[in-house]
Amino acid sequence: MGKQIENVLFVCTGNICRSPFAQCLFNKILAQRGLKDVTAASAGLLALPDNSATHLAHKVASEHGVDLAEHRAKSVSEDLVAWSDLILVMEKSQEDALLSAFPTAAGKVLLLRHFARHGSRRRGIADPYGLQYEAYRFCFLDILDSVSGLAEYLCGRSIAFDPIDVRSYEGYKAHESPRSFVWAGQTFTITGIVDRWYEGSRDETSAAMDYFKVEVDDGRTFIIRYNRLFDSWAILVP
């Protein structure tokens, strides 16, 4: 896989749960991190063309600021395989099926969890189809961890954060409304929150992160994050 990765294809079974999660999450992260030279698509090995994402997939995605309303299922094809520089599947059996059906995919198929930041990189991502809400939520967070790791890999460097002191709006929880921060001996006043997102489990005992893309008083924008477990703030080093 020596070629530069520009086109990423996420593949699952029906293209109505896991691969749409991965595609839409990845596109959101690409936009947040300014990675403009990468394009993502998704497809299913047994997809029924034009099917929409499942109701619970819509529900869980929307709770995390991801919109699946425009998604329509499509099948893996020779054209999609040829277009792709990297093909990411959810389970080992899907890799085997894909390579059997499309031998030209050899050398560019990996498990999506190959890029996971936490836990085993060899296991699959379970299909939530036909199961309850919690199965969908766990699947979504599992995919979020993996596509976040993929984005970091494609950035070509490890993402470095420096600790900072943050002052928040009085009366709010620390991670709800940052107002200013001190970094490298300088105080920056936050004039606007451009975007915000969340990574990790909702369990307060784990390392859940709240991210903010903020504009400061000198016109620059920064990404800062709050670690709920350690009650600490850090800034993405430009």
- Assess contact for 19 and 10: CB atoms under 8 A: yes
* 3 state SS of 226: strand
Q: Which of 12, 17, 24, 139 is catalytic?
A: 12
The two tokens of residue 209 are: 């992160």
- Spatial separation of the C-alpha atoms in residues 99 and 208, rounded to whole Å: 37
Q: Which of 85, 117, 127, 167 is catalytic?
A: 127
- Spatial separation of the C-alpha atoms in residues 116 and 139, rounded to whole Å: 13
Catalytic site residue 139?
Answer: no
* 3 state SS of 220: coil
Catalytic site residue 217?
Answer: no
- Cite the beta strand spans of 47-185 per DSSP E: 86-89, 109-111, 161-168, 178-183
Catalytic site residue 17?
Answer: no
- Residue positions annotated with a catalytic role: 12, 18, 127
